[in-house]
Structure 1
Amino acid sequence: MIRSDALGLLPVRSALPALRAALDGPDGGGAAVLGAPPGTGKTTLVPLALAGLLGDGPARRVVVAEPRRIAARAAARRMAWLLGEKPGQSVGHTVRGERVVGPGTRVEVVTTGVLLQRLQRDQELTGVDVVVIDECHERHLDADTVAAFLVDVRATLRPELRLVAASATTDLAGWARLLGGAPVVEAEGVSFPVTVEWAPPARPVRPPHGMRVDPALLTHVAAVVRRALAERAGDVLCFLPGVGEIARVAGQLAGADAEVLQVHGRAPAEVQDAVLAGSGGRRRVVLATSVAESSLTVPGVRTVVDSGLAREPRVDHARGLSALATVRASHAAGRQRAGRAGREAPGTVYRCWSQAEDDRLPRFPAPEIKVADLTAFALQAACWGDPDAEGLALLDPPPAGAMAAARAVLSAVSAVDARGLPTDRGTRMARLGVHPRLARALVDGAREAGARRTAEVVALLSEEPPREYGDDVAAALRTARSGQDAYAARWRQEVRRLVSAAGEGGGGNAGTGGTGGTGSGRRASGGPSDPHGSGGPSDPHGSGRPSGGHGGGRPSAPYRGGELSDDAVAGLVTALAHPERIARARGEGAFLMVSGTGAELGTGSRLRSAQWLAVAVADRPSGSASARVRMAAVIDEETARAAAAPLYAEGAEVHWAAGDVVARRVRRLGAVELSAAPLRDPAPALVRDALTEGLRTEALAPLRWTRDACELRDRLAFLRRVRGEPWPDVSDAALVARADDWLQPELSRARRRADLGRVDAGQALRRLLPWASGEAARLDELAPERYRVPSGSRIRLDYGSEQPVLAVKVQELFGLTRTPEVSGVPVLVHLLSPAGRPAAVTADLASFWRDGYRAVRSELRGRYPKHPWPEDPTTVPATRFTKGRERRE
């Protein structure tokens, strides 16, 4: 029996006429954007009304896409309750590994990942009349992709398919433009007022750093929860960034006069159900991640405690590492979280930061397409027939660098061809519903270890197990097999799904993979991969290519024949999924991955003594040069070479190291050196490159720089600075870049550093003078090596400073009132005592004779009485000699 009283309380009911008009009216285009605050019933009432299940409209089949499994299950259960039915009758749900629908189901709630799979298999969504994309403001990558595909379907295949984008706190106008100018229908919220209490820590706490959250902040959050229990009635909902933080705060709430529940994506379904079912009379504290921000009403909650933190994906393309990062939650997230307190009655939100900090928060969370690994998205776009995603209706285009990295991975695992279109192998991989890297491991690993055992490892890698499982993949696999916890239950369910999917998609029998489609039209292929999978997205060197160097080729021995141990299977599958993360030991607990990134194991890890590892999960803390290994499997060198075969190379390596040319014949796997032997007769071109590298590394120091050579270089630099072309640039970088122009004969003969040391740099530099224009002949005129002073002496000029410097004894300039110039630049005169010590510096000689000379004369004539010190130096001849020698001569 329909619960009309509960339905009548949902404020979104008033927006239904406008929504129906937008979708069905004569002026409607079949698409609309629904803006409704949290708690208005957009998730539950709207799908029932559009499906005609409330008795006031035509019967239709409606699919509702939710961003999370917990939200999909809860929404379906709530709608079934409103109809007075059980889930699976008129309303059902489908999430990864779980399907509760019946022949009479008219509203099906699915995750966006499940809907992506259906769209790739059946672009027309046969039998579906309406699609509602709920919570589109969260900007999850799967949701953005679903919206883009549906816009395409409506434009090309099914213009009658109705589409609703439902949001609580987003850019409604932007979504309206994306849906082709769809009308915006807004529902007024009647949520109860929520009082804001600012509750910052008494002492400063360290900002989030990677995955790390300052323990002092978590202690403060627990204290605020206890304060809320004491000051307010009802249940408390506390938002924290992740599972680890939830566990820590739960531990600090031990002994509180309330039941403490933990809600997150990994929580058992029974716990999720219990939280959403309401209190049994005892007060509750619900510790939740962002899964509780939207789509869910937690009954009994009157108070929200917000830590102000959230987790977002981040990718280090240069190192091939991806991870979640802890960030400050946006204003939009803060409004969503606070709204949980006002769903059923007036409430309060305790914000664990100051009001001043609040003004600096971002307005919205970063769209996942801007920050996440795009490998799975790129495969989806390729299977859709748009490899570059240029024709997709997206609010934000994918970053070019991230797409290039994603295409490199897909090409390396032979999922796409040279044009970026999916191969048959890529289509099969997409249907497996895991990250393309894990799909590659499942397809190729099943040949060697069997479909089930490979699926067991892939399932373990697709959702990182709890920390208590340890950092050894093989040990975690054995724990999952025997475990009775929620993770083990989900793991077994995922293993069954993967075995079934691999069988249906032919994964276990996949061949080398053909060239795939021709690019005409849309391709029906597999579903989504997990955007939060453990795979790193970047593979610029093709390290992800299947072993043997051929798309889908078999790994080489020792994997053929025989029964592999759990440790061997764990290592093989992990290595196939992440070949660029294969690592060799270089010290106790320290490793070098074939990608060139260092990696370190935690203290106490039993993997520290391994010689080779296949790293499954790693991240690189901000500011750290090495990655931190969170999970890995032990392998041997043969496994490493088989899984990362395209990175194996052997040949001559000639480079500059330790101050000289080093020539070796090397076998290496990416950045990991396997063996090396001296090379006696390296190719001249390689030696030349190494010598040039040495000149660059040591700023031309290996050459013989005499005083004349250095002075010539300074003179040329001066002319370049004041006259420009055709005088050459003689900076270090420019000289190295033009080594062929001035060092060619010497470089062609040189074999080691000693040979460079015999090269007169000054003689070589003269090859750069502008001989062709005739300007070279004016070198001594424009930048003379020496300057003739009034005494007759020819004094060397120093061009090493911004101005030429003339260092000369005071007496040798008597009678000269005009400051000397070189190429129009005044010379900086360093006036010296008779002993050659500095006495004064001037760029205006006339001013010095007038104002500065008296002080110099007063100080020095008593010290040097044999030298002339006239009162007026401008009227006497200059001299190099003492007074007595002047008279004699």
Structure 2
Amino acid sequence: MDRSLPIDEVLPSLVAALREKGRAVLQAPPGAGKTTRVPLALLDEVPGLILMLEPRRLAVRAAAERLAEGLGETTGQRVGYRMRGESVPGRRIEVVTEGILTRMLQSDPSLPGISAIIFDEFHERSLDADLGLALTWEVRGALRDDLWLLVMSATLDAGPVSEMLDDAPVITSDGRSFPVDLRWLARGPDPSLRLEASVAALVEEAVAETEGGVLVFLPGEGEIRRVAARLEGRLPKSCHLRPLFGAMPFAEQRAAIRPEPSGRKIVLATSIAETSLTIEDIRVVVDSGRARRSRFDPNSGMSRLVTERATRAEATQRAGRAGRVAPGVCYRLWPKAAEGAMRAHAPAEIEAADLAGLALELAAWGSDDLSFLTLPPPGPLAEARALLTDLGALDAEGRITPHGREMTALPAHPRIAHMLLKAGRSAAPLAALLSERDPMRGTSSDATIRLAALRGGDRDSRANKAVLDRIRRESKRLAKLAPPAGDLSDGQMAALAYPDRIAMRRPGEAPRYVLSGGKGAVMGDVDPLAGQRFLVALDLDGDTREAKIRLALPLSEDELREIAAERITLETLCTWSRRDRRVLARQQERLGALVLDDRPWRDADPEQLSRAMCDGIRDLGLGFGAAADRFRTRVELLRSAGEDMPEMTDEVLYGSLETWLAPYLAGVVTVDQWKGFDALPVLRAMLDWDQVQRLDRLAPGKFRTPLGREIPIDYAGDHPSIEVRLQELFGQTSHPVVAGRALRITLLSPARRPVQVTTDLPGFWATSYADVRKDMRGQYPKHPWPEDPTKADPTLRAKPRGT
């Protein structure tokens, strides 16, 4: 504690703010000393336990050891730590991973014995940290107004956090750093080279041009190992290559953090080294410009790790590592001009992650009305709740079930927790395998060979030994938490964890599958599992159109029916087939989107058939025929004139087929039957008795000629109209009127050819008829053509022979 750190100058102000308000936000850059100084500064201020949250396991143990050293002790005295699978109690300070706080709050929201909670490195915006802060803030307001709450961040804008915490005081430490010489590429990296080759070449250049330790930032373990392999034998013998990533044994992590007794240290690290740890003796940084993040696709329900360009904030953090102890140098694997296209900050994990765990925790808490710094996106949250319902963790109303509460007690993803509870400890190897990266990447997709290696100790030469060993350790830990083993097959256990990824092969030669969740998937033609009818897809590449299955387990139909019996439904289905131009009635056994059995439905429900035929009618068109169309026109004519009549436009009728037409479609299931269907009585039934009477009175459907014959009236034009043989109107002295308008009459010859169109029949008799009579007598001499048609009898006959 003798060496002063920049944070020391603001500690009195920080302590005063906490005394007054009980909450504060501390902004301090990496290296300022906040992690190792602040908890110690609070020891004499609060009576109970100080809980400090770290985003990574490595940072938890490293921070606890540094704090204990500051007190002249070892961990296990006043300072302890807790993480998944490991715990060293401390009397006054405990450093924990962020998920530990959630478990404590769910167990007892009053947090007995805890006086202060510190969220360290909050700028990383992990999902667990966001949830933990939201829950703690609610507890502080409802149960523990004496609880001190401190949020510490290196780069996060403190304003929104302060506002969320009811205008908490913001304390800022300027920190202390030495100048860093930034060196960019003159142009972009050679596109023909893999990232590892370009990084290795830049590391060689940096080692040759500088002195001191070198910290190299890479996206993940795979890139770290490949760069290390390329650098082997190409660096001076005094250089020591030290990998640093979260999954490696702690002894090896410690070696990367501690100073080397001699020579230069070359640390190949993931983003774990950006802010959470202080790596001593680093003078040089080589930044690959890449970061690996988990991304969740709500459309496919899948999370996947993606490698992206680093953000400007991450690049700044990384460069700052070179200036902690002395002036340094940062080599960037991109040209300076490319920085304009870099995003300012990475999104908070809550915006892009799988929210199943969060949704389960909110259900266990009993409310999701919490103050989140960033609200969970509604779409992914709804997808997560749908999955939890499928797993039996939530009921139909979204409330947590007893099974869901058991799931929250297991430190595993809800899928894995559900599988362990249902299948027992025999599922531990599979659970551990699903929680780690594939130890045999690039080989067959069959997970059976991985499980055989785990259970039998098989040293398959294709397997990554370090990854297998980690999986075995995790398997042993999970087995202790699970109930006694059941007798399920590996495929059945996988189906418990992934009820939405049970895959059924589509008909055809290519190994294409449909998943029970509704998405498509494909497998390589030569894969040993390609011939399987049923699979459980454990890992997919995340393609939203047709994901590639990278890891799977086979499943027989009998096994599937046994494990999913309660979820298999018998559905009756009536659908219109465009290809067959008829309604098809089927009975199907379904598991989600999978059709396990499909057969004709012999005694199909008439109501379902009629509803399906309505879809067919929308496809085929109404096509009522002339009589029905004339009826609709009459109704629309009166409706537009203000009469109370139902609307019969195409749009309205198409939209309500199930209401007005379906009850009359019994026996109509084909296109030919629809063509022969008389819709006029159905349309007429849409009117009540009074409406029918008014329609027939105000807009009659037919005109009765003097001979008593009824002729349909066409209302489609400007005037209602009829066509009638001229001779049939002899004796008609007044012009017919319908719907308040003169009837347009097309007068026809005996051969039914138009002779004259009139809306004034008396006027026609008095004027034009004489000329028409001359023409007609010449063309049709056998028909009567009286001089005065108003006094003649109507007729459709020719004159008798001999007249």
- Classify the TM-score, shorter chain: 0.7 to 0.9
| 8 Å CA contact retained: 1:713, 1:730 | no
Structure 1 counterpart of 2:716: 780
Deviation at 1:65, TM superposition (A): 0.4
What per-residue deviation string (whole Å, max 9, x for no partner) do you get for residues 633-691 of structure 1?
22211222233334312243222333443222222322222222223332222222333
Structure 1 counterpart of 2:371: 393
CA distance 1:155–1:216, shift in 2 (3 Å): same
Structure 1 counterpart of 2:383: 405
| Deviating more after overlay: 105-114 vs 741-750 | 741-750
Deviation at 1:204, TM superposition (A): 8.6
Structure 1 counterpart of 2:94: 108
Q: Runs of 5+ in structure 1 lacking a partner? A: 206-213, 510-558, 787-889
| 8 Å CA contact retained: 1:32, 1:176 | yes
Deviation at 1:457, TM superposition (A): 2.1
Distance of 2:714 and 2:150 partners within structure 1 = 79
CA distance 1:757–1:572, shift in 2 (3 Å): same
CA distance 1:707–1:726, shift in 2 (3 Å): closer
What per-residue deviation string (whole Å, max 9, x for no partner) do you get for residues 542-583 of structure 1?
xxxxxxxxxxxxxxxxx7xxxx5xxx5422221111112111
SS of structure 1 residue aligned to 2:411: coil
| 8 Å CA contact retained: 1:444, 1:508 | no
What per-residue deviation string (whole Å, max 9, x for no partner) do you get for residues 577-632 of structure 1?
111211122355432211222222346533223332122222422xx521222322
Deviation at 1:460, TM superposition (A): 2.2
TM value normalised by structure 1: 0.69
Distance of 2:33 and 2:261 partners within structure 1 = 24
Distance of 2:193 and 2:676 partners within structure 1 = 62
Structure 2 counterpart of 1:464: 437
| 8 Å CA contact retained: 2:614, 2:658 | no
Structure 2 counterpart of 1:279: 260
Deviation at 1:164, TM superposition (A): 0.9
Q: 1:584-733 to 2 correspondence within 5 Å?
A: 584-586=504-506, 587-602=509-524, 604-621=526-543, 625-657=545-577, 658-659=579-580, 660-696=582-618, 699-700=619-620, 730=650
1:20 matched to 2:1? The reply is no
- Counterpart of 1:18, as a letter, is S
Structure 2 counterpart of 1:290: 271
| 8 Å CA contact retained: 2:215, 2:266 | yes
Distance of 2:481 and 2:303 partners within structure 1 = 26
1:495 matched to 2:440? The reply is no
SS of structure 2 residue aligned to 1:580: coil
| Deviating more after overlay: 654-663 vs 773-782 | 773-782
What per-residue deviation string (whole Å, max 9, x for no partner) do you get for residues 135-179 of structure 1?
111111100111112112222222222111000111211111222
| 8 Å CA contact retained: 1:266, 1:486 | no
- Counterpart of 1:101, as a letter, is P
Q: 1:128-147 to 2 correspondence within 5 Å?
A: 128-147=114-133
| 8 Å CA contact retained: 1:233, 1:302 | yes
Q: Runs of 5+ in structure 2 lacking a partner? A: 640-644, 702-712, 723-803
SS of structure 2 residue aligned to 1:190: coil
Structure 2 counterpart of 1:518: none
What per-residue deviation string (whole Å, max 9, x for no partner) do you get for residues 709-765 of structure 1?
999999x99xx9xxxx9986646xx66424357865874442123323556999999
| 8 Å CA contact retained: 1:268, 1:486 | no
Structure 2 counterpart of 1:527: none
SS of structure 1 residue aligned to 2:717: helix
Structure 2 counterpart of 1:848: none
- Counterpart of 2:436, as a letter, is E
1:90 matched to 2:78? The reply is yes
Distance of 2:719 and 2:324 partners within structure 1 = 83
Structure 2 counterpart of 1:546: none
Structure 1 counterpart of 2:57: 69
SS of structure 2 residue aligned to 1:195: strand
SS of structure 2 residue aligned to 1:38: coil
Structure 2 counterpart of 1:36: 28
- Counterpart of 1:464, as a letter, is R
| Deviating more after overlay: 395-404 vs 747-756 | 747-756
Equivalent residue for 2:495, pick from 569, 572, 575: 575
CA distance 1:707–1:232, shift in 2 (3 Å): farther
Deviation at 1:415, TM superposition (A): 2.5
Deviation at 1:331, TM superposition (A): 2.6
Deviation at 1:430, TM superposition (A): 0.6
1:363 matched to 2:344? The reply is yes
Distance of 1:313 and 1:707 partners within structure 2 = 63
Q: 1:790-801 to 2 correspondence within 5 Å?
A: none
Deviation at 1:196, TM superposition (A): 2.5
| 8 Å CA contact retained: 1:90, 1:106 | yes
SS of structure 1 residue aligned to 2:21: coil
| 8 Å CA contact retained: 1:654, 1:687 | yes
CA distance 1:226–1:467, shift in 2 (3 Å): farther
| 8 Å CA contact retained: 1:746, 1:756 | no
Deviation at 1:298, TM superposition (A): 1.9
Q: 1:228-267 to 2 correspondence within 5 Å?
A: 228-257=206-235, 258-267=239-248
Distance of 1:735 and 1:248 partners within structure 2 = 67
Q: 1:735-746 to 2 correspondence within 5 Å?
A: 736-740=654-658
Distance of 1:495 and 1:114 partners within structure 2 = 20
Distance of 2:193 and 2:677 partners within structure 1 = 62
1:326 matched to 2:307? The reply is yes
CA distance 1:72–1:230, shift in 2 (3 Å): same
| Deviating more after overlay: 184-193 vs 764-773 | 764-773
CA distance 1:649–1:78, shift in 2 (3 Å): same
TM value normalised by structure 2: 0.76
Distance of 1:656 and 1:79 partners within structure 2 = 72
Distance of 1:350 and 1:778 partners within structure 2 = 86
| Deviating more after overlay: 659-668 vs 169-178 | 659-668
What per-residue deviation string (whole Å, max 9, x for no partner) do you get for residues 275-323 of structure 1?
1113343434333222222111222322323333333333333433222
Distance of 1:197 and 1:324 partners within structure 2 = 29
CA RMSD of aligned residues (A): 3.9
Deviation at 1:256, TM superposition (A): 2.9
SS of structure 2 residue aligned to 1:43: helix
> RCO greater where, 1 or 2, for CA within 8 Å and sep 6 or more?
1
